[in-house]
Chains A and B, each alone.
Chain A
Amino acid sequence: MELHQVRYFLAVASTLNFTRAAEHCNVTQPALTKGVQKLEEELGGQLIYRERQLTQLTDLGKEVLPMLDRTLASAEAVQRRAREFRRKEVAPLKIGLAPSISASLVLDPIAEIAKFVPGLQVELREGAAEKLVDLLLEGEINAAMVGDVQDIPARIDDWSLFEERYVVVLAPTHRLANRPSIGIDDLRETVLLERGECDVAPKIQRSYFSEEPPRLGHCSGHDLHLQHMAAAGFGVMLAPEHMPRLPTLKTIPLEGDLVSREVRLLAVQGRRYSPALDAFVKVARLRDWSFEGPDRRGRPHDHDKRAGGQPLPANRSAA
């Protein structure tokens, strides 16, 4: 398989017209047709229906399109990086973070790519997952990191990066503060601070509070607000383990690590990847995201348990 064949196929896929695709690629139509045919041979089937009036992608064509798109985007990004480097161009990178994802999580990967993308200018935006999906589709942000998310449009690529558990965060003066771990029954009898647009809330509700809802009362969509409320004794909060916490707060694991979620990376399919975005996606997909928690020092996250054959739930990339 060769990159020029991929380029020809993508041109046909976007124009659905061999003549225009050949013009677009600056080659003769026979050359383009031959390249596409060779690619079809290697992919083991037709990619394009060719009928007199109608050029259309086959199912196989539709299946391989996003991946080939990404591959070509990445190839072009490497070339553009060299050019940007020479011209000392500014390289913007806009990343959206769900409220339950701390900026502290992405700064190390960003520092890594800054070594290779000298004009890097990073903008971080916070928003609920659904909002970030809109921003991605509008081109307002290049990538997003979110927790559990319900419906991801097919046009968006998503990769599961790591799994993390939720822990209980409370004031040291709280009556549960001296427990080695806290069970669901304890939570039933205390005030739970409500996280607005919390990505694991539906899961918690379904699993543990299906009969009687938790005692909520105070709420915020902002992690730091909740932390201040917890510190002031307004109740306990559940927080993703990676989230940096106020020094006045105490962290206690949930009994049996009952609540966890997957942190996912989102980017729009088929859009040109800037060199900065290309590098960010690659680093994010390889990085060791495990972190040192207060009581699970260095314990690696077991995202591999299911990798032996079962597709990841809700991960279209793995299906």
Chain B
Amino acid sequence: MTTTSAPAANRFQPIDPQPDNSPPMPSQTDKTLARTRAELLTTFTAADWESYNHLVGWLRDTDVASHALKVGDDAPDFLLPDADGRLHSSEQLRRDGPLVLSFFRGGWCPFCTAELCALQAAKDEFESVGATLAVVTPETRNFPRQLKQSLGLDLNVLSDVDYRVAMSYGVVFRVPDETKAHYSGLGFDFGARHGSPVWMLPIPATYVIDAEGRIRSAFVEPDFTIREEPAQILASLRQAASTS
């Protein structure tokens, strides 16, 4: 019935070729997230394209990202459990240096798992410049634990129970009904995953927060397929270090 022809996707953003122009980082993973994204997009079905265009279009039209905190804003404090139920406070995480805080959608999203693997590969480099990395998911129960196990992650995965932190950073939205229907059809039950009757998701966002709690860099992208390259985060960290 439908042909999986080129998407009528005017919303679809061309892949940013930039990271490939920059000089390669010494221990950067061989593939950029932009490349992984391009590969993942080729696996999209017609239904995926339709849902993707609808959601990204809706996010742009309602300008959800306009609420997101920006460079120079104070980063809201938080106290969140990690995948094992141990608590972490924002003060503690940024006590000794900048904090890289990255909001992702969940272990069910291939763009998120690609990003997490890329962040894992870059973790040592972040630490070598004195930074701490924490990633934030709306998922609860054993979902974060399973995600860490299945990807072999040694990352601080924090669970944003009831979306409070994403909301205070202005990077969360209620999943529109069309999108909800699509994801339900794929078998993703965010109600069970988040422990919430209302389906909300974060917009992927990566912040660099300095030791004083000030936002030094902000990457907020309503197009959930686009993530900040670890090399770019590292550049932000170096820049923040040089101007602090």
Contact = CB atoms under 8 A, between A and B. Distances in A.
Whether both chains belong to one complex is answered with yes
Interface of A: 1-3, 6, 41-44, 63-64, 66-67, 70-71, 74-75, 78, 81-82, 109, 112-113, 115-116, 159-161, 278-279, 281-288, 300, 303-304, 306-312, 315-319
Contacts of A315: 192
B189 A308 contact: yes
Contacts of B146: 304
B37 to A, nearest CB: 25
B90 to A, nearest CB: 9
Contact of B174 (A43, A113, A278): A43
A1 B64 contact: yes
Interface stretch (B17-25, B26-34, B80-88, B225-233): B80-88
Interface string B159-197: 101111001101011101100000010011101110111
Contact of B78 (A2, A78, A281, A304): A78
A113 to B, nearest CB: 7
B161 A303 contact: no
A6 B193 CA distance: 23
B89 interface: yes
B172 A1 contact: yes
Given A312-B192, A319-B191, A71 B197 contact: no
A304 B176 CA distance: 25
Nearest to B81: A286
A318 B192 contact: yes
B79 A285 contact: no
B212 interface: no
Contact of B159 (A278, A285, A304, A309): A285
Contacts of B67: 1-2
B141 interface: yes
A303 B189 CA distance: 14
Interface in B192-207: 192-193, 195-198, 200
B197 A63 contact: yes
A2 B83 CA distance: 26
B192 A67 contact: no
B161 A304 contact: no
Given A112-B85, A283-B81, A318-B192, 5 more contacts: A279-B79, A286-B84, A288-B145, A307-B193, A309-B188
B159 A282 contact: yes
A81 B174 CA distance: 28
Nearest to A41: B62
A116 B195 CA distance: 24
B142 interface: yes
A311 B191 CA distance: 8
Contacts of A66: 197
A231 to B, nearest CB: 34
B47 to A, nearest CB: 16
Given A41-B62, A71-B164, A112-B85, A286 B141 contact: yes
Contacts of B83: 286
Interface in B85-135: 85-87, 89
Nearest to A81: B79
A318 B170 contact: no
A307 B144 contact: no
A112 B87 contact: yes
The winner among B67, B77, B81, B145 for most chain A CB atoms within 10 A is B81
Nearest to A69: B162
| 4 closest Cβ pairs, A-B complex | A287-B85, A286-B81, A309-B187, A74-B164
A266 to B, nearest CB: 13
Contact of B198 (A2, A67, A113): A67
Contact of A286 (B140, B164, B168): B140
Given A2-B67, A67-B197, A286 B189 contact: no
A306 B89 CA distance: 32
A43 B197 CA distance: 14
16 contacts: A6-B167, A67-B197, A70-B162, A112-B86, A159-B140, A159-B195, A284-B85, A285-B195, A286-B140, A286-B144, A288-B145, A304-B142, A304-B143, A307-B192, A318-B192, A318-B195
